Structure 1
Amino acid sequence: MSGSLLSRSGQWQGCFPDDVSSQSPKSQIWRALDSAQAPEKLSFLLRMPCMNNSRGRIGLIHVKVEIPQGTVSMQGANLSAVTEFILVGFSIFPHLQLMFFLLFLLMYLFTLLGNLFIMVTIWREPSLHTPMYLFLCTLSISEVLYTFAIIPRMLADLLSTHHTIALMACASQMFFSFTFGFTHSFLLTVMGYDRYVAICHPLRYNVLMSPRGCACLVAWSWAGGSIVGLVVTSAIFQLTFCGSNEIYHFVCHVKPLLKLACGENVFTLAMGMGLVCITALLGCCLLILLSYAFIVAAVLRIPSAEGRHKAFSTCASHLTMVVVHYGFASVIYLKPKGPQSLEADTLMGTTYTVLTPFLSPIIFSLRNKELKKAMKKTILNKL
């Protein structure tokens, strides 16, 4: 039929006069699906002006062009859509990979065993069935899940030369690492609130920190972490990744993935994701600082030195963990822009993903007298 985009057979239809095709003679491009071709190819119809010599009139040339599906032309460069990534990770340290594997394996096992021991001790010791230790037990669970989402894959890559990770696997790792990481931050904030109520409002402690209230605080912490993980992951993986598929990190993280994305909204989305993460972290940090400001003011009003020391000792482990957690988190999220080596970025990434979970059971078991006493009791009972 004259003037149609494609013939029934999908072949080139030749030159058509302008009055027949009812189109302006300027060049146009339509994308059409050609059912006669293989599914891995896409058909494009290029309509360009031509001179019909027999009638002396300007018409259109219909030219069908086929290109492989998944190939996009952008500003003259051919870019292929990415379906999997390569985690470069510690391959930049070829002679140190075995040492890193042994070191991180020992730290991971200690993290697992330390947190499991804390959970078992709290569960077995009735004197520790209080809100503070309920939050500590939940914090240990988040630590175990966070490290499980990252470190096993990292250890496997240290022993393997095959570092590819599928797109969905990368998205899953990002979701769970952000979910458990931010849940950890929210739980630290809840623990700060618990210490504030215990010291500043001791007579109302049982009312404000009732079992139902504690359960709600824990649930909201997990819900908040899940929301942040879902928002960040869905925003990042709605982007198109093209060109290079090498992630210069040992985990699927936001910043190296944004460097692989292409599109007009990458910068806007990067700013939005940075704002979400920094706002959540700084919000938690400010709430903790506010809690401790009231705690310090209340403790200074205690007349006896022994009473002040006892009040501060109940906060020592939590405050130490807050400093470690937010100190290393700031290295990841708040480091200034500038020329930094790939090796330095990789090693700094381990401070938050490996070192912080490793230090957590050490800090809480050594700085908390009640927990340390209960752990000794548990060990002696086993012997």
Structure 2
Amino acid sequence: MEFNKVLDNVTIYEAGKPIELVVREYGIDPKDIIKLASNENPYGTSPKVTAKIKEIAQNMFVYPDDSMYELKEALSNKFNVESSNVIIGSGSDQILEFCVHAKCDKDSKILMSKTTFAMYEIYGKQTGSTIIKTVDDEHNLEQFSAEYKKHGADIIFLCLPNNPLGECLDKEDVYEFLKTVDSNTLVVVDGAYQEYASFKDEKKKIDAKDLISTFPNCIYLGTFSKAYALGGMRVGYGIAQEDIIKTLYKLRAPFNITTLTLAAAIEALKDEDFVNTCIAKNFDEMTRYEDYAKSKGFDYIPSYTNFITIKFGNKFSSKEVAQELLQRGIIVRDLTGYGVNAIRITIGSNEQNTKVFKILDEVLEKLK
């Protein structure tokens, strides 16, 4: 059977390994497995969200409110925008998909950093677009500018902070770059980890309203999967000028998030204390990973997210380290597939991290 030829050049996204797979392959008790590969919130969901889900679970047979009125109103109040500036997706990556399919075809060009969220390239290649990448792994705006001047672009992806590496540009530098971008180029500012970045350093904070007011060709993306601990619910959002939102709605299927998802997201926005507590713990624990890396002589990327990237240089193979950890029930993300000899580790709880350091010591001793 023949399919669309552009798919021949599309790689399949490889998600972080689930706990169930490790149980099946290595026979490890689920309670002894620590999953630190998908940047989930290790402190779980707000108790208020859990209570709300239990309350409305009996209504799962009813379709959700497809207008998503209450959630859009809550987000418009949070970001001080109109509800008409908001679109809801099944994870923010669905809105990424909308953006690419709304803007691109086989004659289009998409500009991104060399090492960044894999779905940017995957969605781009689905349309047959040409993918243009900078030379550096981390975001380098001088290189973005050079590539943009040379090739142009229909879409530019800026991941702020960047996944899977963790670095983050200053807002001031981003704005200077955006001033040079043509009004017909759609700039997607992916703020999946913005809650973490703005907590750690005010200079990194991208205000969605200010962004789309200053640069009408931009869309800001956010998610409930990280700081709000709703990864299993799959809900994200986009904030942009109304004409962009109206266009993206033409690609949205009805009822693209569930009744329970809708309720969970609405309730999660009411418990900012829970979110801020989780973020504060995250950065407290991150210092332990920084100290560990320094003690071993490893480089790491200063992170503005809920994960840290540790580089092994020529001392160890990240693929071997990740595999050895996996066999011991510790799931991390090997970045070999991105061309980087490093592992990305989600910052776990205090207890989880203590166990990780102990087992990582054992692995490094075995491999040295």
After TM superposition, the score normalised by the length of structure 2 is 0.23
Bigger Rg, which one: 1
Q: Which has the higher helix share?
A: 1
Larger relative contact order, structure 1 or 2 (CA cutoff 8 Å, min sep 6):
2
